Amino acid sequence: MSVPKKIGSFEAKTRLAELLREVERGQSYDILRRGKPVARLGPVPDENSGDLRAIAAAFRQIRARARGSVPVRDLIDTGRKR
């Protein structure tokens, strides 16, 4: 994602359709009121694409805390209602 550009709230309101087209291409904007940032307009993150490295690191941390061998089937069955 690109570095957010700064834009005043009045200009953002006036150019919203144009800004949305740019956001679709990956641009983001910090919307300012009286020179202070109050909102960010940017692309919606794709829910299906997580940071795989962060996910893998989290799994490694969990696995490091687990003691002994835990069969995957037991973990799956633990969450099921019987």
Question: What is the secondary structure of 20-49 as a DSSP string?
Answer: HHHHHTT--EEEEETTEEEEEE-PPPPTT-
- Going from N- to C-terminal start, the domains of the chain cover 5-41
Q: Which CATH number fits domain 5-41: 1.10.8, 3.30.160, 3.40.720, 3.40.1620?
A: 3.40.1620
Q: What's the pLDDT at 5? A: 96
> What percent of the residues of the chain are helix, what percent strand, and what percent coil, each to the nearest 5?
45, 20, 40
Q: What is the pTM of this model?
A: 0.55
Render pLDDT for 44-81 as a digit per residue (tens, 0 to 9): 877 666 678 888 888 888 878 777 777 778 777 877 76
The pairing of beta strand 5-8 with beta strand 29-33: parallel
Mean pLDDT of 21-48: 92
